[in-house]
């Protein structure tokens, strides 16, 4: 029988490294500080953080405060104005604390017309951050992150606040709001790190949304892979994705601020693991990105796009059989995606159930920059895709 009598030096080294890691990990507090803990920073400490980041710290004031008796957060925006705008992503993006899906902030302080409104919940900070750093530089972020690490404060990052999973808000946190990192410039001949090749790039502050970044690129004669909706932050997929891949695939370099307050350049030659993670490992987990360098492309000649809505003919018909039929059609269309992708068409699907609006509505969006409008129409002709009773469209 083979017996292991000695360890290789490498293995011993690794074990030691792991045991050191566990020692330092176990010395960390199990939970982040909350305002109910003695360890929560005093007002004077928050003031001093504010002074160290150029007076950019905002104490959270939920915007719908005026919808509640005595306006607990002294909001200046009238309740009717908040209620009218509550359904717009752009409204939430412009506000330091607000997010598109306030269910992730425990539905704190909603205007009366909002989904999830319950008067008895009242108006509290709830799941919104306690303070927000309205930053305009990597240095301010570095100072804020280092301070938060030392004080054991939870950190969240908000760009537009669109996150469907609520990642851009969090209770008892300090939020880094990247909204005002708006720099944009084109470099026609950017040298790829570690290579002799030069390529045209867009260098964009992470606070831009796609509307701003794409408009700037187009005005300068270039196109970028973006999101389809102009209001989303830098990332995602659009009509060019069938040709060039996801927006994350276009990133050649990112400037990242870590929780220890370092400002790192991540690319294929330095901080490669961070670079790899930022291009697909998940948002808000590894540091705060302040700037991206991303590939630009010649502007496409044609973009074709269409939306297919699946719903019962009678929108108030929400019986099981109708619902199942729309699910079948939805599944059928989604299953066609791999084949369509091979033929140059990208797409995505969403589904929505709303009794007040009637039936279940499912949406499939197809788009491409690679095919003509005629072949696009032929390819996404639904009965063909789904092998359902065929209709001869030539008659």
Ligand X SMILES: Cc1cc2nc3c(=O)[nH]c(=O)nc-3n(C[C@H](O)[C@H](O)[C@H](O)COP(=O)(O)OP(=O)(O)OC[C@H]3O[C@@H](n4cnc5c(N)ncnc54)[C@H](O)[C@@H]3O)c2cc1C
Residues that bind ligand X (CB under 6 A): 89, 100, 156-164, 167-168, 178, 206, 227-229, 231-233, 235-237, 283-284, 288-289
Q: Token digits for 2?
A: 């083979």
Give the other-Cβ count within 10 Å of 55's Cβ: 8
Nearer to ligand X, 75 or 208 (CB): 208
Q: Token digits for 369?
A: 């920059």
Nearer to ligand X, 66 or 340 (CB): 340
Query: What is d(CA 121, CA 112) in angstroms, rounded to the nearest whole number?
Result: 11
Q: What does the DSSP 8-state code read for residue 364?
A: E
CA nearest neighbour of 56 among 144, 126, 142: 144
User: How distant, in Å, are the alpha carbons of 38, 125, 369 from that of 42?
Assistant: 9, 18, 55
Query: What is d(CA 69, CA 86) in angstroms, rounded to the nearest whole number?
Result: 19
Measured from the CB of residue 79, what is the shortest distance to ligand X in angstroms? 24
- DSSP reduced 3-state for 293: strand
Measured from the CB of residue 180, what is the shortest distance to ligand X in angstroms? 12
Give the 3-state secondary structure percentages of the chain, helix then strand then coil, rounded to 5: 30, 20, 50
Measured from the CB of residue 256, what is the shortest distance to ligand X in angstroms? 8
Nearer to ligand X, 126 or 233 (CB): 233
Per the CB < 8 A criterion, the answer to whether 217 and 295 are in contact is no
Nearer to ligand X, 135 or 312 (CB): 135
Measured from the CB of residue 189, what is the shortest distance to ligand X in angstroms? 26
Measured from the CB of residue 131, what is the shortest distance to ligand X in angstroms? 16
Nearer to ligand X, 249 or 384 (CB): 249
Measured from the CB of residue 292, what is the shortest distance to ligand X in angstroms? 9
Nearer to ligand X, 66 or 93 (CB): 93
């Amino acid at each position: 029988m083979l017996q292991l009598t000695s360890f290789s030096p490498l293995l011993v080294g690794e074990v030691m490294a792991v045991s050191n890691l566990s020692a330092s990990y176990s010395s960390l507090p199990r939970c982040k500080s909350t305002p109910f803990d003695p360890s929560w920073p005093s007002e004077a400490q928050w003031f001093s953080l504010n002074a160290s980041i150029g007076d950019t710290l905002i104490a959270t004031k939920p915007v719908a405060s005026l919808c509640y008796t005595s306006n607990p957060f002294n909001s200046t925006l009238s309740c009717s104005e908040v209620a009218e705008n509550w359904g717009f992503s752009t409204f939430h993006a412009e506000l330091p604390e607000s997010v598109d899906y306030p269910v992730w902030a425990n539905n704190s302080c909603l205007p009366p017309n909002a989904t999830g409104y319950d008067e008895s919940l009242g108006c509290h900070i709830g799941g919104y951050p306690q303070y927000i750093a309205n930053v305009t530089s990597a240095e301010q972020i570095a100072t804020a992150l280092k301070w938060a690490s030392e004080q054991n404060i939870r950190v969240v990052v908000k760009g537009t606040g669109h996150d469907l999973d609520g990642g851009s808000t969090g209770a008892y946190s300090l939020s880094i709001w990247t909204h005002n990192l708006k720099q944009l410039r084109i470099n026609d001949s950017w040298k790829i790190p570690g290579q002799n090749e030069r390529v045209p790039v867009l260098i964009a502050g992470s606070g831009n949304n796609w509307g701003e970044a794409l408009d700037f690129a187009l005005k300068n004669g270039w196109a970028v892979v973006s999101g389809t909706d102009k209001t989303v932050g830098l990332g995602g997929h659009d009509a060019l994705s069938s040709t060039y891949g996801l927006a994350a695939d276009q990133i050649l370099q990112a400037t990242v601020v870590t929780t220890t307050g370092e400002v790192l350049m991540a690319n294929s030659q330095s901080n490669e693991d961070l670079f790899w993670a930022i291009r697909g490992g998940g948002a808000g987990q590894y540091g705060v990105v302040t700037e991206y360098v991303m590939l630009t492309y010649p502007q496409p000649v044609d973009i074709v796009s269409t939306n297919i809505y699946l719903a019962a003919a009678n929108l108030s018909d929400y019986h099981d059989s109708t619902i199942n039929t729309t699910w079948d059609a939805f599944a059928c269309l989604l299953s066609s995606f791999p084949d369509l992708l091979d033929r140059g068409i990208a797409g995505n699907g969403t589904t929505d159930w709303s009794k007040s609006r009637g039936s279940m509505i499912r949406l499939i969006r197809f788009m491409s920059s690679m095919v003509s409008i005629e072949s696009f129409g032929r390819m996404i002709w639904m009965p063909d895709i789904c092998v359902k009773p065929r209709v001869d469209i030539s008659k």
